Amino acid sequence: MLIPENGPPEGRYVQAGPIRMHYLEFGNAGGPVVVFLHGSGPGNSAWANFHLNAQSFAEAGFRVLMPDMIGFGYSDKPLDLGDYTLQLFCDTLMAGLKEMGVERCHFVGNSLGGGVAIQIALDHPKFVTKLVLMGPGCLEPQDAYWGMPGIAKMMSANKAGMSKNTQGEIMRLFTYDPEIVTPELIDMRWAVAQTQPKEVLTTMKTPELGARMQELTCPILTFWGRNDEFMPTQGKAKCIEANEMSRLIEVNACGHWVMIEHPRMFNATSIDFLRHG
């Protein structure tokens, strides 16, 4: 595809089932694999979500993979595969990871990416070593998310038609401190948003996985912003009560993007958890 001006950096591509999937790779090719899974929202990509985290994990000895999931970033955004279901995200991601040579990995997932990570851990428990979740989605019935103020405003803007100004307004809903949303970050997501059909968001279908959290057998570290306007707060209990290896860190003065709003703390804590548990 044509790389838009001010967009995220371009990496490599693999065939992921029916789509061509873009991904970035950093770090030690022989190290433990950490796969970063971004959230949804107009114009999002792996680099937009994790540009403040990738290098720290690479320097810690991990093989860092940052795929753009179907419908996002530089990956294909088809309209002929039906609704954008969680199963579609999972199936195409797993096909892409197989092509990247991944046999087992840690997942680091924000929002929708957290839901994808949980679903894959439920379906393929031997594939997932540990989970790091940040305000994970897919814990509640989908209607519960539509009622959250951040998501309601985001979906309304997406249906009405996005502009660069609206893009910035939506992105500031994700953070406690709006100054964190820099002009460069707005430009990056706006560049991708102009290539993204609105159906990627309007046809998204997600199941309720909260009742299944106790089926997870891997260690789990969850971060939750106290000022998150996108995730229903009852999800915190479902994460911490998943199993005896579950840990929860609630961060004050923080919205939905812990990894962007508090990157030093997030990186150090997550790396320690992945190394030592």
- Do the Cβ atoms of 106 and 129 come closer than 8 Å? yes
User: Among residues 36, 101, 99, 105, which one has the least CA distance to residue 73?
Assistant: 36
User: Is 218:128 a contact under the CB 8 Å cutoff?
Assistant: yes
Say if residues 186 and 167 touch (Cβ distance below 8 Å): yes
Q: Nearest-CA neighbor of 150 among 227, 236, 204, 222?
A: 227
| Amino acid (1-letter code) at residue 184 | E
Token pair, residue 7, equals 């967009």
Answer for the pair 174, 230: CB distance below 8 angstroms, yes or no.
Answer: yes
C-alpha distance from residue 161 to each of 5, 39, 152, 199 (Å) = 21, 20, 14, 12
- The helix or strand, by DSSP H or E, that contains position 223, with its residue range, turns out to be strand 220-225
Q: Which of 38, 51, 106, 256 is catalytic?
A: 256
Let me know if 256 is a catalytic residue. Answer: yes
Residue 172 and residue 90: Cα distance in Å, rounded?
28
AA identity, residue 119: Q
Identify the H or E element spanning 192.
helix 183-193
Q: Which residues are catalytic?
A: 256
